[in-house]
Amino acid sequence: MTPDPLMPGTVTVALRPLRPGDEEAAVRWAGDPVFCRAVDWTPGLSARVVRRHWQAIIAGNDPTFRRWGVTVNGELVGYADLGRIGPGGAELGIALGDRAW
């Protein structure tokens, strides 16, 4: 990856499994109505509802849906999804939660 002039040094972008605590980033992202509209989240959800939803995703019990964290230099900045996983394929989605990205 070509270094970004706004981020001196090496920039490392990676996917990683979600882990407990990642729901706090989702709570921040859910507080941004522009982000919510862009990714089809319901604006104005309580932090409790967002946390509970993400905790279920982190548990990973749905065989038709998988989510990973997108990191830049180790910082969680978004997520990537495979949804509607089935014999005919799957849907791929990616969202960056912090508007700076």
pLDDT in tens, the chain (101 residues): 445 556 668 899 999 999 999 999 999 999 999 999 999 999 999 999 999 999 999 999 999 999 999 999 999 999 999 999 999 999 999 999 988 88
Q: Where are the alpha helices (H) located in 1-101, listed in sequence order?
A: 23-30, 33-39, 47-59
37 CB burial (10 A radius; 0-12, 13-18, 19+): exposed
Give the amino acid at 99.
Answer: R
The pLDDT value recorded for residue 1 is: 42
